[in-house]
Amino acid sequence: MNSSDSQLVAPIPFPLADDFLQSLRSHAFDWCMAHGMISLKKNPSTGSEYIMHMPCTLLPSPFPKSLFELSWNLAKDFNTLVHSAANHPSFLLNTLKDVPDQFTQDLLKIHKTVLEEGVRQPICFGLHRSDYMLHSPAGKTHHLQQVEINTISSAMASVSSLTSQLHRYLIGRMNLSDKYIESSMPQNDSVKNLPRGLASAFKLYGNKDAVVVMLVQGTERNRWDQRWLEYNLWEEHKIPLIRCTLADISKGQMDSNGRLFVAGKEIAVVYFRAGYTPNDYTSESDWSARLTIERSLAIKCPNISYHLAGAKKVQQAFALPGVLEQLVSDPESIKRLRSCFTGLYSLAEGENEHIVKDAIANPRKYVLKPQREGGGNNLYGDDMKQALEKYSPKERAAYILMDRIDPYPFETYFMREGEALIGKAVSELGIYGIFIGENEKVFMNEVGGLLIRTKTAHVEDGGVAAGVAVLDSPYLI
C-alpha cells in the first residue's frame, strides 16, 4: 500500500544543546575528511581550488518504513521495465522520434545506426537509480512518488554508503544508541554492490586480461566518489579500472571483431560517468567515440538503448494507460510501478493544451522538465510560467510537465564546510538497481543500495554536486 501516516520527527528533540552540537559537528567534520567523504571545491572569488567534506546532515532523517520498503521492492521492477523498454523493437523509436531536442535526436541517431548494423554486444548492463519524494499535501498522509529514473551515470553510491557509516559512528560516539535504534537504520552497501555488478559484467565478457573503463568528464570535482568504486573493484575482485574521456576513446582502436582497445588495453566494460549531457560532446570526434563504443564488443553501462530509456519523455510514456502491460508481464509489478507514478503530461503539439493552460494559471502545481540529466535543469513557479508562455508549441514539445510533488518538511541539522545549522528540510530517496541481461535471459537483477539527498524546504531544484542538497541517510519510522 502506497501510503503512510508516520510523523516525520527525529528520535531526539531539537534544537540540540550548543556544547553537544559543536562536539557532534567536530566529530562529523574530521570523520568525513579522514574517510574520503570529500569533493573538490572552487572559490568563486579567487578561482582557487580546495578539498572539502561533502555536505551532509549530522544525523539520519526520518522516513516512513513501509514506503522505504516499497521503494526497495520497486528497484527490481524498474530494472525489468528499463530492460524491456530498451529491447522493445519499436517503443523507444516511436516515443522519441518527434521530440524536438537535438541532443535526444543525436542519441537516437546512434541507436538507429547500431540497430541497422546489428547489435554486436547483446548483453545489457544497467546501474540505475530511481528517485522518489514523499507527496504529503495535507502534512499527514505520505505517498511515495517517483521523481525520475536515472539510467546513466547514477552517482553518489560511494559517498552515500559513507554517509550511513558516518551516522552510525556519530550515534555511537555521542551515546545516542538508545534513541536511534540500529534496526531502523538500513544497511547501505552501494559502495560494494555497484563494483560487484561491474565485476559480474566483466566476467561475462570473458577476457581476464581486459580492463574496465570509467568514462569521465575532463574536469571532475566528484572523483573521490568514483574512486571508491574503482578501489573496491580492485580490492574485492582484482579487476583493473582505467579512467578515460571521450577524447581518449577517440584515440583508441576497434579491430575487425569489434574488440575495443585504448592505450593497448582491451576494454571489457565501459562504465559511463559522462556522456549524459551535450556539454560532454565538444566535437565530432566525441560523437564518433560514442558511436565506436556502441558498435564495439565491450559491454556498456549503459548502452545507447538503456540511456534513451531514461529520457523524461520515456518516463512520461510509461505512465500512459496500457504501456506497462506491453512491457511488463507480472501484474503485481505493474501495480507497484503504477502506484508511484505522479501526473506526467506530454507537451507534443496539440496534446494536453488544457494542462498547459492550468500550469500557466497555477504554476505552483507543476514542474517543467527537459530531456536532460544531471540536475538543475527543471523549471518551477514563475520561471515555468514564463517559459510556457514564451515557447512555441514546437519548442514546448521538447519538455514534459509533471505534477509537483509536495513533501511535508521536517527539522534537521546540516553541515556545510564545517559549519552546522538547523533548518526545515525535505528529502529525496534514490534506490540503486543492478541489472545484467541478454534478451530474455537475466544474469543479475538486484537492489544496489540507497541514496538520500536532503535540502532546505524552500529550495526548488538541484543536487549535492550542484551545491544545493546534502547527503543523508534514512531513519525508518
At 405-445, the pLDDT tens digits run 999 999 999 999 999 999 999 999 999 999 999 999 999 99
So what's the pLDDT on residue 377?
84
- Helix 353-361 vs helix 381-390: crossing angle, to nearest 10: 130
Tell me phi and psi for residue 369, to 5 degrees: -120, 125
Average pLDDT over residues 133-156: 92
So what's the pLDDT on residue 220?
82
Average pLDDT over residues 6-26: 95
C-alpha 408/C-alpha 361 separation (Å) is: 24
Would the pLDDT of 214 be above 70? Answer: yes
pLDDT digits (tens, 9 = 90+) for 80-93: 999 999 999 899 99
Would the pLDDT of 387 be above 90? Answer: yes
Would the pLDDT of 73 be above 90? Answer: yes
Average pLDDT over residues 64-71: 97
So what's the pLDDT on residue 463?
60
Residue 462's pLDDT band (cuts 50, 70, 90) = low
Average pLDDT over residues 445-474: 85
So what's the pLDDT on residue 45?
86
**Grid coordinates of 371:** 530531456
Percentage of the chain modeled with pLDDT above 70:
97
So what's the pLDDT on residue 28?
98
Average pLDDT over residues 42-51: 90
Residue 42's pLDDT band (cuts 50, 70, 90) = confident
C-alpha 461/C-alpha 467 separation (Å) is: 11
Residue 261's pLDDT band (cuts 50, 70, 90) = very high
Would the pLDDT of 12 be above 90? Answer: yes
C-alpha 352/C-alpha 345 separation (Å) is: 7
Would the pLDDT of 268 be above 90? Answer: yes
Average pLDDT over residues 234-239: 98
Would the pLDDT of 464 be above 70? Answer: no
Q: Which of 150-159, 173-182, 244-253, 463-472 has the lowest mean pLDDT?
A: 463-472
Average pLDDT over residues 180-184: 96
Would the pLDDT of 466 be above 70? Answer: no
Would the pLDDT of 373 be above 90? Answer: no
So what's the pLDDT on residue 137?
84
So what's the pLDDT on residue 468?
79
So what's the pLDDT on residue 219?
82
Whether omega before 302 lies within 30 degrees of 0, making that bond cis, reads yes
pLDDT digits (tens, 9 = 90+) for 299-322: 999 999 999 999 999 999 999 999
Non-local (6+) Cβ contacts of 159 within 8 A are: 37, 54, 224, 225, 228, 464, 471
The length of the chain in residues reads 477
Buried b (16+ CB within 10 A) or exposed e, 219-229: ebebbbbbebb
So what's the pLDDT on residue 467?
61
**Grid coordinates of 386:** 514564463
Average pLDDT over residues 286-311: 98
So what's the pLDDT on residue 374?
64
Between 372 and 106, the higher pLDDT residue = 106
